[in-house]
Structure 1
Amino acid sequence: MTEDEVLAEYRASGALLEGHFQLSSGRHSGFYLQSARVLMNPERANRLAAALAARIPREIRSQIDTVVSPAMGGVIIGHEMGRALGKDALFLERPDGEFHLRRGFALEPGAKVLMVEDVVTTGLSSREAIAAVGREGGEVLAEVALIDRSGGKAELGIPFFPLVQINFPTYAADEVPDDLAAVPVTKPGSRK
């Protein structure tokens, strides 16, 4: 899929929102990508996962034992990636502010993991999820995401293969432009 095709999927599903949003990273933006809406249609989710799986280099893909994604945003696309790759798909949760495997999920010692996210902005959640996999006994080989909204600036410490790279501007709370600050802020992410 091309960048335009992916963004068309977001627009068609009402998943590309405009307003004033405080992102999970704490930064502010005039745009929000609500991946749950783009993924609510199973056929669309399947198409996006297949396109994302095709981005993974063969040498990495052949080593993957398990797919892991952080809840909430990565759960649906993580499950679809598991289907696309023929691998189990687990997800991490943050019951106490730190990611953990729960619900009976466990990694085999030394398991080679593909981390799957919906949207990466600063990479903070991804780095926390990667560290959690390490604590759980696995090794993250690479990460994929539907959208890299950092424009290629997020540093994850592992190979990163987004479906689309965009650069919607984001701002620290004390840097929000006046026109954006005049719009009431919404905090739609999963981290409160």
Structure 2
Amino acid sequence: MQDSEILSEFRACGALLEGHFLLSSGRHSAHYLQCARVLMDPMRATRLASALAATLPRDVRQQINKVISPAMGGVIIGHEMGRALGVEAMFVERPTGTFELRRGFSLNPGDQVLMVEDVVTTGLSSREAIKAIEDAGGVVIAAAALVDRSGGSADLGVAFHALISLSFPTYAPGEVPADLAKTPAIKPGSRAA
């Protein structure tokens, strides 16, 4: 898929929002990608996951035997990536603030894992998910996301593949431009900052 086709998928379902948003990372932005909206159509989710899977080098695709994503945002794309790669998909969640496998999910020592997110901005959630996977015995051989909002700066400690890279500016709380600060920030994500 070309970038224009990917953005068309987001626009078609109202998933590319404009306003004043407080991101899960704690940063502010005038743009927000509501991946839950773009993934709510199963056919669209399948198309996007297949396109994302195709960005992975062939040798990496062949090594993966599990896909794990962080809850909540990564659950749907993680499941669809499992389908696209023909492997099991699981997720980590934060019942007490730290990611862990639950619900009977487990890894065999040395399982080759692809960690999948919906959007990466700073990479913090991804790194936390990778640590949980490693703590559970998995080996994260790569990470993937529908959208890389980091402008290529997120260091996840493993090869990182994104379907599209977008560079909407984000701002630390004390750096929000005056025109953006005039509008109250809303928190559309799934996690408190």
Letter in 2 for 1:189: G
Letter in 2 for 1:22: L
Alpha-carbon distance in structure 1 between the residues aligned to 2:44 and 2:118: 14
SS of the residue 2:20 aligns to = strand
Superposed CA RMSD? 0.6
SS of the residue 2:68 aligns to = strand
In structure 2, the partner of 1:84 is: 84
Alpha-carbon distance in structure 2 between the residues aligned to 1:191 and 1:96: 13
In structure 1, the partner of 2:62 is: 62
1:188 Cα shift? Answer: 1.5
The gaps in structure 1 that reach 5 residues or longer are none
Letter in 2 for 1:108: N
SS of the residue 1:183 aligns to = coil
SS of the residue 1:164 aligns to = strand
Q: Deviations over 1:10-61 (max 9, x none)?
A: 0111000111111011100001100000000011000000000100101111
1:191 Cα shift? Answer: 1.7
Alpha-carbon distance in structure 1 between the residues aligned to 2:189 and 2:36: 11
In structure 2, the partner of 1:153 is: 153
Q: Compute the TM-score of the two structures, normalised by the length of structure 2.
A: 0.98
SS of the residue 1:46 aligns to = helix
1:9 Cα shift? Answer: 0.4
Alpha-carbon distance in structure 2 between the residues aligned to 1:107 and 1:179: 48
1:151 Cα shift? Answer: 1.1
1:189 Cα shift? Answer: 1.5
Q: Deviations over 1:47-84 (max 9, x none)?
A: 00000010010111111010000001100000000000
In structure 1, the partner of 2:175 is: 175
Deviating beyond 3 angstroms after TM superposition, the runs of 4 or more aligned structure 1 residues are none
Aligned pairs, number: 192
1:27-66 alignment to 2 at 5 Å?
27-66=27-66
1:187 Cα shift? Answer: 1.0
The gaps in structure 2 that reach 5 residues or longer are none
Alpha-carbon distance in structure 2 between the residues aligned to 1:190 and 1:39: 15
Alpha-carbon distance in structure 1 between the residues aligned to 2:72 and 2:147: 15
In structure 2, the partner of 1:112 is: 112
Identity %: 68
SS of the residue 2:50 aligns to = helix
Letter in 2 for 1:71: A
